[in-house]
């Protein structure tokens, strides 16, 4: 049976989904956290390119995926955009704003180095891998900061994701 893949870099970015679907972690998987049931696979890869590529490689080798969603947080260079705002960065969707996104391998806090509204550390790698296997791909980002390079507290990220959950849960 085909499944929907949800990818996040951090557990706190998808904790709301794990709780909502009452998923248990597959402890036999090494290198990243994996949760799944009959309909959904959640891969929590860790931050960055190599972690993302490794987790997605495992998922596509071991599951039949027909839809893939990257859900996570992103820095925003536009201080007029409120923290907690949800964007889709690869498609125009009804009821969710669109924003441009750049992926960097290191945290960026200089707005002059960024040509897009949002910045993260995984999305481009997620999209590149998924495009090899499927067409139904979404990248959803919640604004967590205005280019602050320190990693926010887990509780803060969980709250941001919970507050946006109603906007994107029907996309799964």
Per-residue confidence in pLDDT tens, the chain, 172 aa: 899 999 999 999 999 999 999 999 999 999 999 999 999 999 999 999 999 999 999 999 999 999 999 999 999 999 999 999 999 999 999 999 999 999 999 888 888 899 999 999 999 999 999 999 999 999 999 999 999 878 789 999 999 999 999 999 999 9
pTM for the model: 0.95
Residue whose entry in the numeric block shows the structure tokens 């750049």? 102
Q: Helix or strand or coil: residue 9?
A: coil
Burial degree of 167 (CB within 10 A; 0-12, 13-18, 19+): middle
Beta bridge partner(s), residue 36: 41
Other Cβ atoms less than 10 A from the Cβ of 135: the count is 9
For residue 2, how many C-alpha atoms fall within 13 Å in the half-sphere facing its CB? Answer: 9
């Amino acid at each position: 049976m085909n499944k929907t893949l949800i990818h996040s870099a951090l557990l706190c970015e998808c904790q709301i989904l794990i709780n909502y679907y009452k998923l248990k972690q597959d402890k036999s998987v090494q290198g990243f956290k994996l949760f799944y049931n009959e309909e959904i696979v959640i891969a929590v890869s860790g931050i960055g390119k190599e972690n993302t590529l490794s987790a997605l490689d495992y998922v596509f080798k071991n599951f039949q995926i027909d839809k893939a969603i990257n859900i996570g947080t992103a820095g925003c260079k536009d201080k007029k955009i409120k923290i907690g705002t949800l964007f889709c960065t690869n498609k125009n969707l009804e009821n969710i704003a669109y924003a441009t996104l750049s992926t960097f391998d290191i945290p960026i806090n200089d707005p002059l180095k960024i040509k897009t509204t949002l910045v993260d550390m995984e999305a481009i790698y997620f999209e590149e891998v998924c495009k090899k296997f499927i067409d139904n791909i979404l990248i959803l980002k919640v604004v967590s900061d205005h280019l602050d390079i320190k990693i926010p507290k887990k509780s803060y990220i969980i709250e941001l994701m919970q507050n946006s959950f109603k906007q994107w849960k029907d996309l799964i």
